Amino acid sequence: MWAGLSGVSRRCERGSRYALAQVDEGEAWHRADFQTVCAVAAVWRKRGGRGLPTRHDIDPLHFGPGLLPHLMLIEVRSAADYFWRLCGERASFLFGERLAKRTLGELERSAPAVAAWREVLDCTVAKGAPVYFEVDNVTSSGRPMRGAGAMLPLRAPAGEGRQRRIADVLGVLRLAQLSR
C-alpha cells in the first residue's frame, strides 16, 4: 500500500491538480473503466507465462493499435529515477507534455506534483507485482479528466548482470474527459 497517498489531492505549480488512489487488482478486473487496463494486463500475463515477462517478451504487435496510445515503457534507472523509453499519446495527455526520452526527475522539476508517480513506480518495483490505480485530474486549462491505470513490472532478463530484479515497468493509462 502507499502510505499516505490513497485519495490525497496534489496541486501542480501551474494550477493543475489531481488525486491518485490505489485500486485492488480484483476490483479493477470487475470495473468497466478498467477495461483497457485489464486488456493490457491480460497480454502482460500471457507473455510472462508463470513469472514476470521481460521487456524483450513484450512486442507492440501483441497489443494492437487500440491499446498502443495508452502504453508507457518505463526503465528503472536506479532507486532514484525512472526513464520513459516510450509513451503513447493518450498517456502523455495527463501530464500535458511529452514523456518519451525523459526522466521522472526531469519531470518533477517542471511539475512537482508528478512526485506521486514516483510513489506508484517505487511500489511496483518494491512489490514486483502489478499496481492498479485511478486518477482524477484537472488540467491547467481547466479540463477535468478521470483515468484508470496500472504499472506492470518487467523482470531483468537472465544474464544481463543487472543488480535489480525489476528492470522496467509497462504502464497503461486510460483517460476520459469528464463533463463540467
Residue 17 lies in a domain: yes
CATH number for 79: 3.30.450.20
Residue 2 lies in a domain: no
Top-confidence residue, 93 or 136: 136
- Helix%, strand%, coil% for the chain, nearest 5: 30, 35, 35
Q: What is the pLDDT of residue 160?
A: 59
pLDDT tier for residue 132 given thresholds of 50, 70 and 90: very high
Residue 3 lies in a domain: no
Residue 34 lies in a domain: yes
Q: What is the pLDDT of residue 100?
A: 82
pLDDT tens digits for 75-87? 998 767 899 898 8
Q: What is the pLDDT of residue 93?
A: 67
Q: How many domains does the chain have?
A: 1
Q: Taking a C-beta distance cutoff of 8 angstroms, is the pair 137, 25 a contact? A: no
DSSP letters, 57-75, are G--GGGT-TTTGGGEEEEE
Q: What is the pLDDT of residue 17?
A: 60
Q: What is the pLDDT of residue 113?
A: 59
Residue 32 lies in a domain: yes
- Give the residue-averaged pLDDT of 112-117: 68
Q: Taking a C-beta distance cutoff of 8 angstroms, is the pair 146, 175 a contact? A: yes
pLDDT tier for residue 139 given thresholds of 50, 70 and 90: low
pLDDT tens digits for 3-60? 334 443 443 333 446 678 899 999 999 999 999 999 999 999 998 777 899 999 998 8
Top-confidence residue, 25 or 140: 25
CA angle 31, 12, 85 (to 5 degrees): 65
* Domain carrying residue 42: 8-177
